Amino acid sequence: MTALPDLPRGAGTTRASSSRAARRRLPLGPAELAAAALLLLVLVMAVAPRLLAPADPLAVSPTDAFAGPSLVHPFGTDESGRGVWTRVVHGAGASLTIGLVATLIGTGLGVVLGVLAGLGGRGLVGRVSDAGVSRLLEVLFALPGLLLALVVIAFTGPGAVPATIAVGLATAPGYARIVRSQVAAVRRSPMVESAIVLGRRPGVVLLRHVLPNALAPVVVLATLGLGQAVVWASSLSYLGLGSPPPAPEWGAMLSAGRTYLTVAWWMTVFPGLAVVVTAASATVLGRGLARRERRGPR
């Protein structure tokens, strides 16, 4: 019987370690990659909808009303004979734009409030700013996010722009609380204390040391917030407070389709699937990025 050659000591361990290291080097897992691919598809629908649906989303054809899904109309038609597939594709631009702009508003306002509160604690002005912003966030957190958006809509009136602002303001408290805790933790770190001892100016310390380290998680959380913003914007449009019909917007399409749910289910199901898939993809991708952020470099 031929003896097998001896393996170098630690070869199995080295091979296993290299395998684990290779897995750690993978930027995203299969679920996150699938979510990123779906978000990329939604982005293509938003940026260049005519590549996927060249027809006019507002063109009516009464003779084709309430046609079920077919090769000509994959998602069927609505009460005016407009293709639901065409309207879903063209509606991605409005829904995604509202979600992105609302997320930018929420993160921007949250960063400003979080930095003001997180840098407090030193001196009377710092303590007052921290206490004031913290009390404001507590009041805003007492209201559910969507209810807060409805309150803003009550003052501004319905429409796509007011709905975007309302969703952005409603998401700002969550970002502000996270930024406050991050800024406060980084401000007490040895790195920042050393910079202060070396005589660095407060503005330099803030821009060079505090913000780059404190705002990294916010970018990851903004990906999670995008899905939430899309859902909230669609909810406002569903209630008649966002984009008005016959605009090809997912929430408005859901609102129009609920009247014909028993005779034309496709008018509601396919726009609803678009909202669910976009929000779920953003959530899966955001959670994957958040896990990588918590692990840190290895």
Q: What is the DSSP letter of 122?
A: S
Residue span of the structural domain in which 246 resides: 31-53+66-295
166-179 residue pLDDT tens: 888 888 888 888 88
Q: Cα–chain-centroid distance for residue 127?
A: 32
Asked if the structure places residue 59 within a domain, the reply is no
Question: Could you give the CA distance from residue 267 to residue 272 in angstroms, rounded to a whole number?
Answer: 9
- Taking all residues of the chain, what is their mean pLDDT, rounded to a whole number? 81
214-245 residue pLDDT tens: 777 787 788 888 888 899 889 888 888 888 87
Asked if the structure places residue 58 within a domain, the reply is no
Beta-bridge partner residues of 77:
83
What amino acid occupies position 278? T
41-54 residue pLDDT tens: 999 999 999 999 99
Look up residue 238 and give its two tokens: 């569903």
Domains contained in the chain, number: 1
Question: Could you give the CA distance from residue 195 to residue 189 in angstroms, rounded to a whole number?
Answer: 10
Phi, psi (rounded to 5 degrees) for 186: -70, -35
pLDDT at 9: 46
Asked if the structure places residue 164 within a domain, the reply is yes
Asked if the structure places residue 274 within a domain, the reply is yes
231-280 residue pLDDT tens: 988 988 888 888 887 888 999 999 999 889 889 999 999 999 999 999 99
Question: Could you give the CA distance from residue 236 to residue 165 in angstroms, rounded to a whole number?
Answer: 12
Whose structure tokens read 């649906």?
53
- In this predicted model, which residue has the larger pLDDT, 188 or 231? 231
pLDDT at 8: 47
Phi, psi (rounded to 5 degrees) for 26: -60, 125
What amino acid occupies position 191? M
Asked if the structure places residue 9 within a domain, the reply is no
Asked if the structure places residue 239 within a domain, the reply is yes
Domain with residue 98: its CATH number is 1.10.3720.10
